[in-house]
Amino acid sequence: VMDVTLLNELAISSLTRDNIPVPTECSDGVPNAFVPGRNILFLTLAAIYAYQIGAESIITGVCATDFSGYPDCRDEFVKALHPAVNLGIARDIRFDTPPMWLDKAETWALADYYGALETVRNETLTCYNAVQGDGRGECHACHL
């Protein structure tokens, strides 16, 4: 786990501020839960780590169904960032996005198929209200 609290200072969003309510429905445009640069930072840090340990790929959970205003969840974003990161580290590390075209139910079913459902439920956070596992079912991310 890496400390990325600096992002909280730089990006004003309902995910980084307690005084901004998390949206419960989709809105037109970029939602207030969008954290500018979040996936740029996460994928860049993952690439630095992958370089250090000799990994050949980074697996990320971004998906197009999460796009609903989140520009850093698009397939074209990942495909555009990939060559820039590889140029910057002088090594080819793949960015794999298995759930890119799956909705949340399909992603959880895939995790269950591979025997990883409890890991996903207990070790990941997809609810924008920071409720691990199934979430509260109130925010936009839970409705996907």
Helix/strand/coil (H/E/C) assignment for every residue in 78-127: HHHHHHHHHHHHCCCCEEECCCCCCCHHHHHHHHHHCCCHHHHHHHCCCC
Q: Which CATH number fits domain 5-102: 3.10.580.10, 3.40.50.620, 3.90.550.10, 1.10.150.120?
A: 3.40.50.620
Domain ranges of the chain: 5-102
- In the prediction, which pLDDT does 143 show? 61
Residue 140 or residue 1, greater confidence: 1
Question: What is the percent of the chain where pLDDT is above 70?
Answer: 83
- Average pLDDT (112-137) is 78
